[in-house]
Chain A
Amino acid sequence: DIVMTQSPDSLAVSLGERATINCKSSQSVLNSSNKNNYLAWYQQKSGQPPKLLIHWASTRESGVPDRFSGSGSGTDFTLTISSLQAEDVAVYYCQQYHSMPYSFGQGTKLEIK
Protein backbone atom coordinates (compact mmCIF):
# COMPACT_ATOMS: atom_id res chain seq x y z
CA ASP A 1 0.00 0.00 0.00
CA ILE A 2 1.13 3.56 -0.74
CA VAL A 3 1.53 5.75 2.35
CA MET A 4 1.09 9.50 1.92
CA THR A 5 2.87 11.79 4.37
CA GLN A 6 2.24 15.53 4.53
CA SER A 7 4.31 18.24 6.15
CA PRO A 8 3.84 20.27 8.17
CA ASP A 9 0.82 19.11 10.18
CA SER A 10 -0.17 22.74 10.71
CA LEU A 11 0.88 26.05 9.28
CA ALA A 12 0.20 29.70 10.16
CA VAL A 13 0.79 32.27 7.43
CA SER A 14 0.12 36.00 7.27
CA LEU A 15 -2.46 37.32 4.84
CA GLY A 16 -0.91 37.95 1.44
CA GLU A 17 2.07 35.69 2.16
CA ARG A 18 2.95 32.37 0.54
CA ALA A 19 1.88 29.05 2.03
CA THR A 20 3.60 25.80 1.07
CA ILE A 21 2.42 22.29 1.90
CA ASN A 22 4.43 19.19 1.09
CA CYS A 23 3.28 15.66 0.34
CA LYS A 24 5.47 12.59 -0.02
CA SER A 25 4.37 9.17 -1.25
CA SER A 26 6.07 5.93 -0.23
CA GLN A 27 6.07 4.80 -3.87
CA SER A 28 6.02 6.68 -7.15
CA VAL A 29 2.58 7.72 -8.35
CA LEU A 30 3.82 8.53 -11.84
CA ASN A 31 2.11 6.56 -14.59
CA SER A 32 4.87 5.60 -16.98
CA SER A 33 2.57 5.21 -19.97
CA ASN A 34 0.91 8.64 -19.93
CA LYS A 35 3.51 10.51 -17.81
CA ASN A 36 0.84 11.80 -15.43
CA ASN A 37 1.22 11.82 -11.67
CA TYR A 38 -1.89 10.36 -10.07
CA LEU A 39 -1.96 12.88 -7.25
CA ALA A 40 -4.79 15.15 -6.14
CA TRP A 41 -5.12 17.98 -3.63
CA TYR A 42 -8.29 18.71 -1.67
CA GLN A 43 -9.41 21.61 0.48
CA GLN A 44 -11.74 20.97 3.40
CA LYS A 45 -13.25 23.93 5.21
CA SER A 46 -14.80 23.50 8.64
CA GLY A 47 -18.07 21.61 8.52
CA GLN A 48 -17.88 20.98 4.77
CA PRO A 49 -16.95 18.01 2.60
CA PRO A 50 -13.61 18.05 0.79
CA LYS A 51 -13.33 19.96 -2.47
CA LEU A 52 -11.08 18.82 -5.29
CA LEU A 53 -8.58 21.59 -6.08
CA ILE A 54 -5.90 19.98 -8.24
CA HIS A 55 -5.56 16.74 -10.18
CA TRP A 56 -2.60 15.17 -11.99
CA ALA A 57 -0.45 16.93 -9.37
CA SER A 58 -0.54 20.30 -11.10
CA THR A 59 -3.82 20.82 -13.02
CA ARG A 60 -6.24 23.19 -11.30
CA GLU A 61 -9.91 22.36 -11.33
CA SER A 62 -12.21 24.78 -13.09
CA GLY A 63 -13.01 27.74 -10.85
CA VAL A 64 -10.06 27.29 -8.51
CA PRO A 65 -8.18 30.59 -8.10
CA ASP A 66 -4.80 30.75 -9.79
CA ARG A 67 -3.09 31.52 -6.49
CA PHE A 68 -3.31 27.75 -5.93
CA SER A 69 -0.67 25.72 -7.72
CA GLY A 70 0.63 22.19 -7.53
CA SER A 71 4.01 20.84 -8.48
CA GLY A 72 6.22 17.78 -8.15
CA SER A 73 6.61 14.37 -9.69
CA GLY A 74 7.23 10.79 -8.67
CA THR A 75 7.12 10.80 -4.88
CA ASP A 76 7.45 14.46 -3.86
CA PHE A 77 4.75 17.06 -4.33
CA THR A 78 3.92 20.58 -3.21
CA LEU A 79 0.78 22.68 -2.95
CA THR A 80 1.49 26.40 -2.97
CA ILE A 81 -0.87 29.26 -2.22
CA SER A 82 0.92 32.30 -3.58
CA SER A 83 -0.91 34.98 -1.61
CA LEU A 84 -2.98 33.72 1.30
CA GLN A 85 -6.54 34.97 1.57
CA ALA A 86 -8.80 34.69 4.60
CA GLU A 87 -11.06 32.24 2.76
CA ASP A 88 -8.16 29.81 2.31
CA VAL A 89 -8.26 28.79 5.98
CA ALA A 90 -8.89 25.05 5.77
CA VAL A 91 -7.33 21.62 6.06
CA TYR A 92 -5.57 20.46 2.90
CA TYR A 93 -5.14 16.82 1.90
CA CYS A 94 -3.14 15.11 -0.81
CA GLN A 95 -4.38 11.80 -2.24
CA GLN A 96 -2.87 9.23 -4.55
CA TYR A 97 -5.10 7.46 -7.05
CA HIS A 98 -2.34 5.45 -8.70
CA SER A 99 -2.89 2.19 -6.82
CA MET A 100 -5.58 0.63 -4.72
CA PRO A 101 -6.17 1.19 -1.90
CA TYR A 102 -6.31 4.89 -2.65
CA SER A 103 -4.81 6.81 0.24
CA PHE A 104 -4.81 10.29 1.69
CA GLY A 105 -2.20 12.24 3.57
CA GLN A 106 -2.97 13.03 7.21
CA GLY A 107 -3.88 16.63 6.38
CA THR A 108 -2.30 20.05 6.92
CA LYS A 109 -4.22 22.67 8.87
CA LEU A 110 -3.69 26.14 7.43
CA GLU A 111 -4.41 29.16 9.61
CA ILE A 112 -3.89 32.91 9.51
CA LYS A 113 -0.97 34.28 11.52
Chain B
Amino acid sequence: EVQLVESGGGLVQPGGSLRLSCAASGFTFSNSWMHWVRQGPGKGLVWVSRINIDGSSTWHADSVKGRFTISRDNAKNTLYLQMNSLRVEDTAVYYCARGRLVASGGGFDPWGQGTLVTVSS
Protein backbone atom coordinates (compact mmCIF):
# COMPACT_ATOMS: atom_id res chain seq x y z
CA GLU B 1 0.00 0.00 0.00
CA VAL B 2 1.28 3.43 -0.95
CA GLN B 3 1.43 5.42 2.27
CA LEU B 4 2.79 8.58 3.85
CA VAL B 5 2.74 9.07 7.61
CA GLU B 6 3.63 12.41 9.19
CA SER B 7 4.81 12.95 12.73
CA GLY B 8 6.45 15.62 14.87
CA GLY B 9 3.66 18.14 15.22
CA GLY B 10 2.69 19.71 18.52
CA LEU B 11 2.42 22.90 20.53
CA VAL B 12 5.34 25.33 20.36
CA GLN B 13 5.82 28.92 21.48
CA PRO B 14 6.37 31.74 19.00
CA GLY B 15 10.02 31.85 18.02
CA GLY B 16 10.44 28.14 18.69
CA SER B 17 11.42 25.27 16.43
CA LEU B 18 9.94 21.97 15.36
CA ARG B 19 10.96 19.21 12.95
CA LEU B 20 8.31 17.31 11.05
CA SER B 21 8.91 13.86 9.57
CA CYS B 22 7.09 11.99 6.84
CA ALA B 23 7.69 8.24 6.50
CA ALA B 24 7.03 6.81 3.07
CA SER B 25 6.21 3.23 2.12
CA GLY B 26 4.80 1.28 -0.79
CA PHE B 27 6.58 3.22 -3.53
CA THR B 28 10.10 4.12 -4.60
CA PHE B 29 10.70 7.13 -2.39
CA SER B 30 14.14 7.83 -3.83
CA ASN B 31 12.61 8.41 -7.29
CA SER B 32 9.91 10.78 -6.05
CA TRP B 33 9.81 14.56 -5.76
CA MET B 34 8.18 15.43 -2.44
CA HIS B 35 6.20 18.37 -1.11
CA TRP B 36 4.86 19.89 2.09
CA VAL B 37 1.44 21.57 2.01
CA ARG B 38 -0.25 23.24 4.97
CA GLN B 39 -3.81 24.10 5.91
CA GLY B 40 -4.62 26.64 8.57
CA PRO B 41 -7.68 26.13 10.80
CA GLY B 42 -10.75 26.40 8.57
CA LYS B 43 -8.59 27.60 5.68
CA GLY B 44 -7.52 26.34 2.27
CA LEU B 45 -4.46 24.46 1.05
CA VAL B 46 -1.17 26.32 0.80
CA TRP B 47 1.91 24.84 -0.85
CA VAL B 48 4.99 25.21 1.38
CA SER B 49 8.07 23.40 0.08
CA ARG B 50 9.40 21.02 -2.57
CA ILE B 51 12.49 18.83 -2.85
CA ASN B 52 13.87 16.88 -5.78
CA ILE B 53 14.83 13.22 -5.74
CA ASP B 54 18.31 13.52 -4.26
CA GLY B 55 17.81 16.67 -2.18
CA SER B 56 20.05 18.82 -4.34
CA SER B 57 17.25 21.22 -5.26
CA THR B 58 14.69 22.73 -2.90
CA TRP B 59 12.05 25.44 -3.17
CA HIS B 60 10.17 27.20 -0.41
CA ALA B 61 7.19 29.54 -0.43
CA ASP B 62 8.08 33.16 0.29
CA SER B 63 6.13 33.01 3.55
CA VAL B 64 8.54 30.42 5.01
CA LYS B 65 11.77 31.16 3.12
CA GLY B 66 14.71 31.51 5.48
CA ARG B 67 12.79 29.88 8.34
CA PHE B 68 11.80 26.43 7.03
CA THR B 69 14.08 23.83 5.42
CA ILE B 70 12.92 20.76 3.55
CA SER B 71 15.24 17.74 3.42
CA ARG B 72 15.14 14.00 2.89
CA ASP B 73 16.91 10.77 3.80
CA ASN B 74 16.41 8.30 0.98
CA ALA B 75 18.05 5.51 2.98
CA LYS B 76 15.30 5.92 5.60
CA ASN B 77 12.50 6.72 3.12
CA THR B 78 11.78 9.83 5.14
CA LEU B 79 11.04 13.46 4.32
CA TYR B 80 11.62 16.26 6.81
CA LEU B 81 10.59 19.85 7.40
CA GLN B 82 12.71 21.82 9.84
CA MET B 83 10.72 24.80 11.06
CA ASN B 84 12.50 27.60 12.91
CA SER B 85 11.40 31.04 14.14
CA LEU B 86 7.80 29.84 14.20
CA ARG B 87 5.00 32.38 14.12
CA VAL B 88 1.38 32.22 15.22
CA GLU B 89 0.38 32.29 11.53
CA ASP B 90 2.30 29.03 10.93
CA THR B 91 -0.39 27.20 12.91
CA ALA B 92 -1.77 24.57 10.55
CA VAL B 93 -2.09 20.93 9.66
CA TYR B 94 1.01 20.05 7.65
CA TYR B 95 0.67 17.42 4.94
CA CYS B 96 3.42 15.70 3.01
CA ALA B 97 2.59 14.61 -0.51
CA ARG B 98 4.32 12.91 -3.41
CA GLY B 99 4.61 14.96 -6.56
CA ARG B 100 3.86 12.65 -9.44
CA LEU B 101 5.92 12.74 -12.57
CA VAL B 102 4.31 14.90 -15.22
CA ALA B 103 4.59 11.92 -17.55
CA SER B 104 2.25 10.12 -15.15
CA GLY B 105 -0.14 13.04 -15.08
CA GLY B 106 1.36 15.22 -12.40
CA GLY B 107 -0.45 16.41 -9.31
CA PHE B 108 0.07 15.33 -5.73
CA ASP B 109 -0.71 11.74 -4.81
CA PRO B 110 -0.74 10.28 -2.24
CA TRP B 111 -1.07 12.62 0.74
CA GLY B 112 -0.38 11.81 4.34
CA GLN B 113 -2.99 12.24 7.05
CA GLY B 114 -1.31 15.40 8.29
CA THR B 115 0.25 16.55 11.54
CA LEU B 116 -1.00 19.55 13.51
CA VAL B 117 1.39 22.34 14.44
CA THR B 118 0.11 24.91 16.92
CA VAL B 119 2.16 28.03 17.58
CA SER B 120 0.91 29.79 20.68
CA SER B 121 2.15 31.29 23.91
Asked whether A102 and B50 contact (CB < 8 A) given A59-B105, A61-B109, the answer is yes
- Provide the bound-state CA to CA distance between A1 and B102, in Å: 20
Chain B min CB distance to A16 (Å): 28
Contacting B at CB under 8 A, from A82-104, are: 91, 93, 95, 97, 100-104
> Of the 9-residue stretches B7-15, B20-28, B41-49, B80-88, which lies at the interface with chain A?
B41-49
Q: Which residue of B lies closest to A49 (CB)?
A: B111
Asked whether A40 and B47 contact (CB < 8 A) given A49-B95, A100-B59, the answer is no
Q: Do B44 and A97 touch across chains, with their CB atoms under 8 A apart?
A: no
Asked whether A100 and B50 contact (CB < 8 A) given A40-B106, A40-B108, A59-B105, the answer is yes
Query: Which of chain A's residues have a CB closer than 8 A to the CB of B107?
Result: 40, 52, 55, 95, 97
Q: Do B50 and A49 touch across chains, with their CB atoms under 8 A apart?
A: no
Query: Which of chain A's residues have a CB closer than 8 A to the CB of B62?
Result: 101
Q: Is B30 an interface residue (CB 8 A)?
A: no
Q: Do B113 and A55 touch across chains, with their CB atoms under 8 A apart?
A: no
Chain A min CB distance to B38 (Å): 11
Chain A residues close to B by CB (< 8 Å)? 36, 38, 40, 42, 44, 49-52, 55-56, 59, 61, 91, 93, 95, 97, 100-107
Chain B residues close to A by CB (< 8 Å)? 35, 37, 44-47, 50, 59, 61-62, 95, 99-100, 102, 105-109, 111-114
Query: A49-B111, A55-B100 known; 4 other A-B pairs, CB under 8 Å?
Result: A55-B107, A93-B45, A100-B50, A104-B37
Of the A-B pairs whose beta carbons lie under 8 Å apart in the complex, a sample of 26, sorted by A's number, is A36-B102, A40-B107, A42-B45, A49-B95, A49-B114, A52-B107, A56-B105, A59-B105, A61-B109, A91-B44, A93-B45, A95-B45, A95-B108, A97-B107, A100-B50, A100-B59, A101-B59, A101-B62, A102-B35, A102-B47, A102-B50, A103-B47, A104-B44, A104-B45, A104-B46, A107-B44
